[in-house]
């Protein structure tokens, strides 16, 4: 069939914080290919996730991306997406697209089978050693039994892959493997009709391993600590011992934190190089001008900010993520500060490709905001983490409430305009009592609008807030 509509390529990263694209921040990380997408497209610099319902924040985040539904409207915390929720891949298949998926899939094998008609190098899980990821070839039956499982390692990957694709060199690192699957897809499989290509990288999630040349790019002794670095979090937030927090010692030291940041940057630069290979394949295939590209991440990461290392919080470093669109219908060189969620990607792509939006989708199309960078989309943003944290951001202010062991233990109020690093808690100040009251009322209103209190997590949180 003739390609009457643009292709779609989704580049989804794991644990990449919003300020780790060089052209969008002062962070000294080298990202020339991500910078190209920013330069040629529209970047939403305040894109967020609504939070998470488990320590594995990425699992509900990915479910929201693929369904276009909000946090408390994805059943089962997003582990396996129920059949009544139309997925992005399903919508594009119905519209005549060939759908191809590769990389991390953390939402059930049956959900992957519904989404994609083709794929390769598929990882069903949350995290793995980047040099030894258990990958599946595409299984048209959707069963993905162990006989189709292949452990990729530096010593066996090239030889094994040579039997299948002797003209393509595939390295042993997860980012290289997934990018190579995307390159093969562009080069060989999807030239006859529009394609929807989903590449879900495992990087820069720990363990932070990468080719030595990228590790050597950033000297830990020269890495600057963030202004909000702390040896310990100033109070018990209920998640100080979750897995991510155990990646570094207690209390945090400056030298160990610098090393982690340097490795984080190195992984992002290596990831950027692999994204560059995908972009080059589109250029060489003559498909760039007819392809919508989305770069996004599943959640942020603290890496030393506030004394934390993970993403199990409502701080900006954990909820804000990269989000860049590039391609037909997308203005170039635009930076928008609109309040958007990742689950807005689904309806946005539908509008850009003239694909019908399924009735189950709740997100908002961002096409109008691309044309009008002053459009804020939402006047307030609501965030939640399990039954422990709730937050609202509106008008430059941010409120975070904490419940630990069933009791309301702490309130934080930040003026983000003057304090973007969330360092000065203004909640106890009498001068801000009116703002605190207003923000608490807004928090309650948004909790109702998102059906938080009807959720298992919200039931416990709001009961504690009332007691």
pLDDT of residue 155: 44
User: Are residues 238 and 317 located together in one domain of the fold?
Assistant: yes
User: Are residues 421 and 354 located together in one domain of the fold?
Assistant: no
User: Are residues 409 and 265 located together in one domain of the fold?
Assistant: no
Range of the domain at 423: 381-466
User: Are residues 165 and 115 located together in one domain of the fold?
Assistant: yes
pLDDT of residue 82: 86
Whether 263 is in a domain gets the answer yes
What is the residue-level pLDDT of the chain in tens, covering all 467 positions?
446 899 999 999 999 999 999 999 999 999 999 999 999 999 999 999 999 999 999 999 999 999 999 999 997 656 788 889 999 999 999 999 999 999 999 988 999 999 999 999 999 988 889 999 999 999 988 888 765 566 554 444 434 443 343 323 344 899 999 999 999 999 986 666 899 999 999 999 999 999 999 999 999 999 999 999 999 999 999 999 999 999 999 999 999 999 999 999 999 999 999 999 999 999 999 999 999 999 999 999 999 999 999 999 999 999 999 999 999 999 999 999 999 999 999 999 999 999 999 999 999 999 999 999 899 999 999 999 999 999 999 999 999 999 999 999 999 999 999 999 999 999 999 999 999 999 999 999 999 999 999 999 999 999 999 98
User: Are residues 350 and 387 located together in one domain of the fold?
Assistant: no
pLDDT of residue 166: 30
pTM over 0.85: yes
SS (H, E, C) the chain: CCCCCCEEEEEEECCCCCCCCHHHCCCCCCCHHHHHHHHHCEEECCEECCEECCCCCHHHHHHHHHHCCCHHHCHHHHCCCCCCCCCHHHHHHHCCCEEEEEEEECCCHHHHHHHCCEEEEEEECCCCCCCCCEEECCCCCCCCCHHHEEECCCCCHHHHHHHHCCCCCCCCCHHHHHHHHHHHHHHHHCCCCCEEEEEECCCCCCCCCCCHHHHCCCCHHHCCCCCCECCCCCCCCCCCCCHHHHHCCCCCCHHHHHHHHHHHHHHHHHHHHHHHHHHHHHHHCCCHHHEEEEEEECCCCCCCECCCCCCCCCCHHHHECCEEEECCCCCCCEEECCCEEHHHHHHHHHHHHCCCCCCCCCCCCCHHHHHCCCCCCCCCEEEEECCCEEEEEECCEEEEEEEECCEEEEEEEEECCCCCCCCCCCCCCHHHHHHHHHHHHHHHHHHHHCCCCCCHHHHHHHHHHHC
Q: Which of 337, 371, 405 is the last residue of a domain?
A: 371
Whether 376 is in a domain gets the answer no
User: Are residues 75 and 223 located together in one domain of the fold?
Assistant: yes
User: Are residues 106 and 236 located together in one domain of the fold?
Assistant: yes
Q: Which of 371, 396, 414 is the last residue of a domain?
A: 371
User: Are residues 338 and 425 located together in one domain of the fold?
Assistant: no
CATH number reported for the structural domain that contains residue 421 in this entry: 3.30.1120.10
CATH number reported for the structural domain that contains residue 223 in this entry: 3.40.720.10
User: Are residues 240 and 345 located together in one domain of the fold?
Assistant: yes
User: Are residues 128 and 261 located together in one domain of the fold?
Assistant: yes
Tally of structural domains, the chain: 2
Whether 2 is in a domain gets the answer no
User: Are residues 191 and 329 located together in one domain of the fold?
Assistant: yes
């Amino acid at each position: 069939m003739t390609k009457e509509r643009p292709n779609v390529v989704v580049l989804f990263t794991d644990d990449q914080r919003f300020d780790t694209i060089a052209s969008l921040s002062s962070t000294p990380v080298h990202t020339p290919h991500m910078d190209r997408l920013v330069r040629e497209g529209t970047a939403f610099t305040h894109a967020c996730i609504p939070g998470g319902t488990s320590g594995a924040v990425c699992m509900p985040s990915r479910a929201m991306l693929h369904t276009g539904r909000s946090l408390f409207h994805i059943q089962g915390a997003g582990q396996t997406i129920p059949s009544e929720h139309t997925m992005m891949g399903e919508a594009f298949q119905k519209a005549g697209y060939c759908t191809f998926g590769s990389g991390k899939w953390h939402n059930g094998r049956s959900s992957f089978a519904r989404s994609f008609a083709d794929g390769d190098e598929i990882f069903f899980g949350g995290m793995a050693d980047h040099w030894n990821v258990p990958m599946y070839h595409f299984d048209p039956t959707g069963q993905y039994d162990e006989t189709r499982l292949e452990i990729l390692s530096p010593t066996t990957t090239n030889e094994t892959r040579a039997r299948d694709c002797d003209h393509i060199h595939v390295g042993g690192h997860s980012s290289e493997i997934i990018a190579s699957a995307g390159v093969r897809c562009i080069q060989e499989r999807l030239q006859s009709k529009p394609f929807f290509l989903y590449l879900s990288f495992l990087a820069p999630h720990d363990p932070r391993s990468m080719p030595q040349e990228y590790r050597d790019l950033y000297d830990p002794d020269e890495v600057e600590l963030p202004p909000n670095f702390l040896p310990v979090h100033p109070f018990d937030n209920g998640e100080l011992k979750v897995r991510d927090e155990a990646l570094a010692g207690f209390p945090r030291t400056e030298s160990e934190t610098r090393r982690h940041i340097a490795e984080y940057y190195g992984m992002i630069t290596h990831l950027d190089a692999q994204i560059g290979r995908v972009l080059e394949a589109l250029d060489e295939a003559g498909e760039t001008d007819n392809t919508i590209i989305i770069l996004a991440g599943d959640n942020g990461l603290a890496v030393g900010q506030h004394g934390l290392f993970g993403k199990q919080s409502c701080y900006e470093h954990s909820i804000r993520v990269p989000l860049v669109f590039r391609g037909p219908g997308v203005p170039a060189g635009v930076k928008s500060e609109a309040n958007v969620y990742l689950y807005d990607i689904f309806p946005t792509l539908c509008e850009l490709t003239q694909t019908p939006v399924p009735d189950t989708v709740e997100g908002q199309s961002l096409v109008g905001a691309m044309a009008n960078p002053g459009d804020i989309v939402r006047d307030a943003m609501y965030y939640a983490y399990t039954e422990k944290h709730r937050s609202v951001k509106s008008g430059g202010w941010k409120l975070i409430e904490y419940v630990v062991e069933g009791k309301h233990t702490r309130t934080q109020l930040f003026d983000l305009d003057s304090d973007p690093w969330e360092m000065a808690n203004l909640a106890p100040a009498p001068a801000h009592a009116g703002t605190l009251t207003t923000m608490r009322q807004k928090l309650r209103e948004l909790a109702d609008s998102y059906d938080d209190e009807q959720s298992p997590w919200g039931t416990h949180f709001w009961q504690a807030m009332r007691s």
